[in-house]
A and B are shown apart, each in its own frame.
Chain A
Amino acid sequence: NAGVTQTPKFQVLKTGQSMTLQCAQDMNHNSMYWYRQDPGMGLRLIYYSASEGTTDKGEVPNGYNVSRLNKREFSLRLESAAPSQTSVYFCASAKQGASTDTQYFGPGTRLTVL
Chain B
Amino acid sequence: AQSVAQPEDQVNVAEGNPLTVKCTYSVSGNPYLFWYVQYPNRGLQFLLKYITGDNLVKGSYGFEAEFNKSQTSFHLKKPSALVSDSALYFCAVRDKGGGGSYIPTFGRGTSLIVHP
Contacts and interface: CB of A to CB of B under 8 A. Distances in A.
Contacts of B94: 99-101
B32 A50 contact: no
Given A4-B43, A104-B46, A106-B43, A50 B100 contact: yes
A99 B34 contact: no
Given A42-B90, A43-B90, A100 B51 contact: yes
Nearest to B34: A102
Nearest to B49: A102
Contact of A48 (B34, B49, B90, B101): B101
Contacts of B34: 102-103
Nearest to B96: A99
In this complex, the interface size class of chain B, counting residues with CB under 8 Å from chain A, is 20 to 34
B78 interface: no
Nearest to A110: B41
A92 B30 CA distance: 23
Contact of B104 (A41, A90, A103, A106): A103
B106 A54 contact: no
Given A41-B108, A42-B90, A42-B108, A97 B102 contact: yes
Interface of B: 9, 30, 32, 34, 36, 41-46, 49, 51, 90, 94-104, 106-109
11 contacts: A44-B106, A51-B101, A56-B101, A58-B103, A90-B44, A97-B100, A98-B102, A99-B95, A100-B94, A105-B43, A105-B44
